[in-house]
Amino acid sequence: MSTISAAHTGWIVAKESDHSLVFLASITDFSALSEPMMNEEQVQWDKNNGVEYIAYTMQPMGG
């Protein structure tokens, strides 16, 4: 994820537990981000390893 520089600006990864992490980034191109995550090889690796993604969006508060 961190090497997909065309897809985001700035990022941080936080270890939540031995089996989970939190990836925070300012995504600038969702299409560019989904390409490496959704290719057949990656999808199969995720299935084989029990990987689950949960995505949230956030918006700034105030004006």
Cβ(54)–Cβ(46) below 8 Å: no
- The pLDDT value recorded for residue 26 is 81
Q: In which domain, by residue range, is 40 found?
A: 8-48
Q: What is the CA radius of gyration of the chain?
A: 13
Instruction: Output the tens digit of pLDDT for each of the chain's 63 residues.
Output: 555 567 777 778 888 888 888 888 787 877 777 777 778 888 898 899 988 888 888 888 886
Flag whether 18 is in a domain: yes
Cut 0.85: pTM above it? no
Number of domains in the chain: 1
Q: Exposed, middle or buried by CB within 10 Å (0-12, 13-18, 19+), for 58? A: exposed
In a domain, 57, yes or no: no
What distances in angstroms separate CA 61 from CA 7, 26, 28, 56, one per listed residue?
23, 16, 19, 16
Q: What is the pLDDT of residue 4?
A: 57
